[in-house]
Amino acid sequence: MASLIIADENEGRRNLLAGTLEREGFNVTRTSTLRQTEGTALGTMPDVLVLDAEWRSADALDSAQRLMADPEFSFKSRIVLLSRDTSRDMLISAAKAGIHEVLGKPLNMSLLITQLKKHAKKEFVPPPADVATHSSQGFFDVNLSLQDPTWAMPMLQNMLNPEVINPQFVEDILAKLAEDEVEIEGVDSSNLGTLLKTVFGQLLESQIDDEEETLQIKNVQENIGQKKSQKLGTSLEDILQEEADELTEEILEKMEEILGEGIPEYTALEEDLKIKVDPEFINLVKFSSESIQELLWEIGVPGRLNDPSLGLWVEDSLKSVGDILKSIPEVPIEEE
């Protein structure tokens, strides 16, 4: 039985939708706030979170993005957004937030049930919109795509190697030109090899000198710690290996800084300055702190302030704090 969470602050709409889905065999949990939704979703990991797009005091897309940032939730669960706005901007925003599908209102219940079953079975459903797949900004993001030609720079550098543009390579080009019936009379193979090296070198220099076209390379170099540019004549494997080694060194340095932090030094008091504390007093402070923490959490829940039991809770907490203050002795402050 697939598990769902229906997140909608409108109680009537929430109960109506939940009742319909329960009759279809879904195991439904209802939530009325986004804060409650996030906590319940991360705690239960439902198959599908059905999220309404309209909230008075919060944003559904922000909530969805926070949930999808959790690796376990993003692996186990899917999010379906119910929205009156199905414009392209909305669909793009939803896709960037990690939402798997956007269904427009008024709802087609038959379509909704069909799509929820697909999501519950983890079947493929097209995303709301096509967004850039290389949007990550992590430390190991290479950010390469077929539309970006800068990934070919190391290969172009490798073309300048003598091992690549060798006599055999030049002879193969001349043979190909002859097959294509291109006039090559009087063309010397050594001159052709020099010409090819000059052309590739000029392409490489123009690529490096152009600031707009080297922006991608600069970003990659910044991500690997502002390393030195690669020398001409190295292979692509060597370049990647050097970058991997430099990344490893940088990570080890960072870890040494973190793990090498010393334990803070505390000055122990002399025996005549120490004060004995009753263990029961420590337990009282701990119990009172936990009770006040729970009280503040309950107060933060919308609509909870109308609960009359909170008044008794506040009185008990005030009494506990009063007992703590009475139990603390006055300690004279010595003037230096």
Per-residue tens of pLDDT for the chain, all 336 residues: 899 999 999 999 999 999 999 999 999 999 999 999 999 999 999 999 999 999 988 899 999 999 999 989 999 999 999 999 999 999 999 999 999 999 999 899 999 999 999 999 999 999 999 876 444 444 444 444 444 455 455 555 555 566 666 777 777 777 777 777 666 666 666 677 777 777 766 666 665 555 454 555 556 555 555 544 444 445 566 777 888 888 888 888 887 777 766 655 556 667 777 777 778 878 888 888 888 888 888 777 777 777 777 778 888 888 888 888 887 777 666 654
- Give the list of residues 6+ apart from residue 84 with CB closer than 8 angstroms, or none: 53, 54, 104, 105
Residue 103, number of CB atoms within 10 A of its CB: 18
For residue 4, give Cα distances in angstroms to 23, 58, 303. Answer: 13, 21, 25
- Give the list of residues 6+ apart from residue 82 with CB closer than 8 angstroms, or none: 8, 50, 51, 52, 53, 103, 105, 107
- Give the list of residues 6+ apart from residue 48 with CB closer than 8 angstroms, or none: 2, 3, 4, 5, 77, 78, 79, 80, 116, 119, 120
The predicted pLDDT at position 140 comes to 43
Residue 4, number of CB atoms within 10 A of its CB: 25
Question: Phi and psi dihedrals of 286, rounded to 5?
Answer: -65, -45
Answer yes or no: are the C-beta atoms of 144 and 134 closer than 8 Å.
Answer: yes
The predicted pLDDT at position 229 comes to 45
Residue 80 and residue 68: Cα distance in Å, rounded?
A: 12
- Range 3-120 has CATH code 3.40.50.2300: yes
Residue 247 and residue 244: Cα distance in Å, rounded?
A: 5
Residue 315 and residue 304: Cα distance in Å, rounded?
A: 17
The predicted pLDDT at position 68 comes to 93
Cα-based torsion angle of the residue sequence 146, 148, 152, 154 in order, rounded to the nearest 10 degrees = -130
* Domain residue ranges in the chain: 3-120, 149-258, 275-327
Residue 77 and residue 311: Cα distance in Å, rounded?
A: 39
DSSP-based three-state secondary structure for 277: coil
The predicted pLDDT at position 264 comes to 58
The predicted pLDDT at position 18 comes to 93
The predicted pLDDT at position 263 comes to 58
